[in-house]
Structure 1
Amino acid sequence: MTIETILKKKRTIMLVLLVLAVLVRVFFGVVKNDYHCDEGITLALTNGTWPVHVATDHRLVWMDMGELSHRMFDSRLERGKVDYDTLTEATARDVHPPLYYWLLFDARRIIGPSNHHLASITLNMLFFLVSCFFFIGIVSRIWKDTRILFLAFILFAFSSATISLTVYMRMYELLQMVCLGFLYSAVLVCFPDGDRKPLPVLITGIAGLMVFSFMGLMTQYYFLLFIVPVCVFAFFYLLITKRPAALLWSMLVVLAGLYVALRLFPPMIDHLTKSQRAGQSIANLTTKTTLSKLESIWMYIRLLSRNLVPLAVPVVAAGLAVFQQIRGRIEGNGSADESEKPGRNTVPFMILMVLIFLFTFTIISISAPYQTVRYFAAFIPAYALTFVSVILVLLRYRSALVLLAASAVLVFVYGVLPGNMNVFHEDYPVPEERSYLTDDIPLMIIGTPWGYTWKNMVPYLNIPHDKRVYVMEQESVNLYAIARESGSPVVYALVDDYLPETTEYEHISYYAFFHVYKVTVE
């Protein structure tokens, strides 16, 4: 069987890749045993116990972690004490809009409040499948060569970052979906590509721009960073191609979608201008030195290199492009044959994708409060398309396909290994050795009234359900007295690092946001 014959089985190959991508995500979900603090906020918020401390019956008493987890993450949802108004009020006090929480709330009610991990993965898997539809639609519209479709899809679907998003109980998988939906809609509007029925395609694209403008702003505010370069490109491209009607309607529906989101959830104005996250981002953009900004960008480049293509690949591509240009000038055939060119919209599409990459990646690298993969992971599909389009423009077609194939192999091999899963702990230290969380010795968690709302989520999610725990928030506490109540001769204590460090007890480790002490009962 020849390669050409195999490539003709486009739908079969695409289905195999899609099923494999789903199976890898299912496997990652099964083996996941480490959780980020924000995932605890997700569960508590959809249970109505965040951030107003509705649940107080899990504090000041020794109990199994399973019981504490149930009271914190499941109990109110089971009793029907949570509704959309509760979630909206809670998200108003947070830094994110409510759409993801509404959807997860429904998923948890359908699948079962205690099956929160399954509910989250199921919901995220649906988002991933819709993302695949948009991604395939974008690639198929720009390039007709099925080889490009397969290779681009592997770069997206098997990136360690995008796989990790599916098993991460946050809104970033939904953000990925709405960004791809917006991009697909923009591609339908900007690149008619000889459609037999151009008007229905144009209407579909314009309607999509409105729907995804609304959904995106209701999902995560990084969506605004994504649509700025898309809108700028579309504005000038539609002007240049003399399509004023498409431009006018596109502008109107995007503004309408954003306006409806703003009216539905007015607290987003304060989120974007007055919240702690907004203050951090503005300060980082305006007060960081140039050297500090460059260092942040370099750190993010390293993170991207580990989660998409290695940094060496673009370097090799640049060198190969220069070599081919020099060789072409010497041999007098500097350009490839028309039959070897990937598609007539490749160059304008590349410009669009480069704008998206430069704008989003630079702003996030400089403004983000932490250097973590999760802040750009939702944009990995767009970054993969940037890489593909740039390679196709820079290199001769056959060389480009070879380099893309090699990159796809690297991404696939790295991405499917469970050890490369992103748990997104980059913003706080988590040591490899943490037996104090998993052994049979009782554990005290001593927090602060402020840190309790988010710091405590790390141990809550990562302590086995059969371990005995005691939770309290107090600046001054006698750990010996609490330890005696446990009935154990030895007790561990996780003490919020906002509280003064003490030498009264044996300091054995530091975990996330907590000093870890060993308390021996006299």
Structure 2
Amino acid sequence: MNQWRDEKKRAFLALLFILILQAGVMCWFGNRKQGYFIDEIYSFGLSNGYYKPFITSYGDKIFDQWADKTVIDDYMTVQKGERFAYGSVIYNQSQDVHPPLFYLLLHTVSSFFPGRYSKWFGIGINLVCFLISGGFLWLLGSRLMKCPWLGLVPVTIWGFSAGAVSYTIYIRMYMVMTLFTVLSGYLHERMEEEGQTWLKLLLIFVVTVCGLLTQYYFVIYAFFLSGVYFLWKLWKKAFKEAFLYAAVLFGGVGTAVLLFPSFITQITRKDEIVAQETRKNIGSIDTLITNLKSYGYGIHSDFLSGSFKAVPLILLLAAAAVAAAFFLGRQKKKEALGKSQELGGWLFLISCPAAVFIIASVAVVPSPRYICSLYPLLVLAGIWLLWRMTKHCLPAMRTAMVLFSVLFLCLSLSSYRHGFVQYLYRDEPVRLEEAKKYGNLPCLYVTNYRMAALTQDLRTLSCFKEFYVTNREGLATVDQILEGKEASRGILVTVDNNSFWGSGYDGEEVVRIISEKTGLRAVKCVFAQELSVTYLLEG
């Protein structure tokens, strides 16, 4: 017992060292992050816009009249008298497509810094969640593999991966969801091994509620995790425990709905594109294949540094370890298999891939961010399976674990070097500097008043002294709009040209209309983004 305690203490110190190194990596890449994805702009706006969930909520304060960066700051930052306005956050999220917990956290941090927004507000939240997730992943791995040192393997592989870094510096709810995903897995494993108690059921209830209030995809993971656990209890003929557990889980879902009634309306609403496309995707083989390909490429980039050569090397290493264990520890293998009556890592080997499959069948955007919360448990499940197949031969098992840790650490370092960490947007300062060069020129923003492209371009628009948002029909009076603005010096025109998320306007056609009405014939494309393109018109 004392030896186990000493081993656990030493392994815990090693864990702290690893987590400190990983935190340093996160901060280093966080410092290199120079811009924001559109969803990150939404994160700040939905958290801090005072009862205004979208920039379009400002109506006549931003549409069809000259506006400046004041309205943008009002949307993205907490203003005086609006600190800790949680009612506003709840309202904003009731108009969006996500539950409110992450936004409540971001608003809380923002409330300590009124009038400001910073990437570190969101990265700080994610970093705390990442470190706690790493700690519980170690505890879970240590329990599953009966060794505190082996628990460090999944922490090392996942925590240093490009995927973990990317979703820590990405200012969205995915690392918060990762925390509740790992916590739920840890609590279920403890309950499976130690037995159900009211305290454990209460903790699972709380984690389930928090997970559901963070991201709706959590319900898919929770469904399969709880389903495996429930069926296992039935198989063990623990019927009372199984149905008590089910009641607690359903109670958690009901509580989440009571706390955030928009839970139901967001999923069923017919006037929002994400909800519409999600329902449309159900049963679509094309969607399933597209998303699974995206997840495959994502995992390839997030863990393998985009190297296909790593796949056969990993398989060869695993096969060699299993073969060595088979030939060197055959008798112990029979004894070990005969004693195993635990659910163990099968809990995650079954539930996590099943969750990935269902998420792939409904997700609107083909992006691995929707499964990134499962990354730590998927890594753990793979390592646990290797451990289970080699544990009867300690030399083979220990050698394999060390080699896997070193291999994936090298792949992570390679992924840093080759640019597989996402959401850095290191080119954004160049675009903003380019915009500031024309900051004193009037800027026209042409959209059909949809919010996506406009939200994407808020940081760019804040570089201009004034900007005017109108639709294509409004260009009929462009000469009146520009009256008194010294348009002869030149104007900037940004066109919302994305047909799926935005207006789908033809940029060249819009510029031609403006050029004919203003006499500004010299046209140059200044820069383009995913949802828009910006032109300079001069005489």
User: Normalising by structure 2, what TM-score?
Assistant: 0.81
User: 3-state DSSP class of the match of 1:184?
Assistant: helix
What is aligned with 1:70?
73
- Which of the numbers 354, 361, 375 marks the counterpart of 1:366? 361
Is contact 1:165–1:173 with CA below 8 Å preserved after alignment? Answer: yes
**Cα distance, 1:172 vs structure 2:** 1.3
Conserved? CA contact 2:83–2:114, under 8 Å: no
2:114 corresponds to 1:104:
no
1:512 aligns with 2:530: yes
Take 2:279 and 2:301, find their aligned partners in 1: how far apart are those partners?
Answer: 28
One-letter code aligned to 1:459: D
Same amino acid, percent of matched pairs: 18
| TM-score normalised by length of structure 1 | 0.83
Alignment of 1:8-23 (within 5 A): 9-23=10-24
Aligned residue for 1:266? Answer: 261
1:241 and 1:228 mapped to 2: Cα distance? 20
> Contact 1:357 / 1:383 at 8 angstroms: preserved in 2?
yes
The root-mean-square deviation of aligned C-alpha atoms, in Å, is: 3.6
**Residue equivalent to 1:296:** 291
Contact 1:293 / 1:366 at 8 angstroms: preserved in 2?
yes
The 3 A distance-change label for structure 1 pair 358 and 456 is same
C-alpha separation in 1, matches of 2:241 and 2:175: 30
Alignment of 1:118-157 (within 5 A): 118-157=120-159
Alpha-carbon distance change, 134 to 97 in structure 1, aligned in 2, over 3 angstroms: same
Equivalent residue of 2:36, what SS?
Answer: coil
Per the alignment, residue 230 of structure 2 pairs with 235
Q: Structure 1 residue 151: deviation in Å?
A: 2.0
- How far did residue 354 of structure 1 move? 2.0
- The 1:410–1:69 alpha-carbon spacing in structure 2 relative to 1, beyond 3 Å, is farther
Corresponding position of 1:405: 405
Q: Quick one: structure 1 residues 341 and 125, their matched pair in 2 at CA, closer, same or farther if it must change by over 3 Å?
A: farther
Q: Where does residue 53 of structure 1 map in the other structure?
A: 57
Aligned length: 497
Match of residue 287 from structure 1: 284
**SS of residue in 1 equivalent to 2:13:** helix
Cα displacement (A) at 1:123: 2.2
Matched residue, 2:3: none
Q: Matches of 1:313 and 1:205 in 2, distance apart?
A: 40
Cα distance change, pair 215–415 in 1 and its aligned pair in 2 (3 A): farther
Change (3 A) 1:323 1:103: closer
1:225·1:360 contact (CA, 8 Å) conserved in 2? Answer: yes
Deviation at 1:35, TM superposition (A): 0.7
Name the CA distance, whole Å, in 2 between partners of 1:268 and 1:20.
38
In structure 2, the residue matched to 1:87 is 89
Which residue of the partner structure matches residue 458 of structure 1?
Answer: 456
Note the residue ranges of structure 2 that are not aligned, 5 or more in a row.
1-5, 391-395, 498-503, 516-522
Q: Return the offset for 1:349.
A: 3.0
Q: Which has the higher contact order (CA 8 A, sep 6+)?
A: 1
Instruction: Provide the C-alpha distance between the structure 1 equivalents of 2:462 and 2:418, rounded to a whole number of angstroms.
Output: 24
Provide, for residues 358-404 of structure 1, a one-character-per-residue CA deviation record: whole Å limited to 9, x for no partner.
22222233322222232222222122212212333455524531442
Deviation string, structure 1 residues 182-203 (Cα, Å, up to 9, x no partner): 11111111122xxxxx67xx44
Cα separation, 1, equivalents of 2:113 and 2:299: 35
State the Cα deviation string for residues 21-44 of structure 1 (Å, max 9, x = none): 222222222221121111111211
- Secondary structure of 2:467's aligned partner: strand
Q: Give the aligned partner of residue 190 of structure 2.
A: 188
Letter paired with 1:71: D
In structure 2, what residue type is equivalent to 1:279? Q
2:66–2:468 contact (8 Å) kept in structure 1: yes
- Relative to structure 1, is the Cα distance of residues 343 and 54 closer, same or farther in structure 2, using a 3 angstrom cutoff? farther
Q: Is the CA contact (8 Å cut-off) linking 1:182 and 1:209 kept in structure 2?
A: yes
Aligned CA distance change for structure 1 residues 187 and 470 (closer, same or farther; 3 Å): same
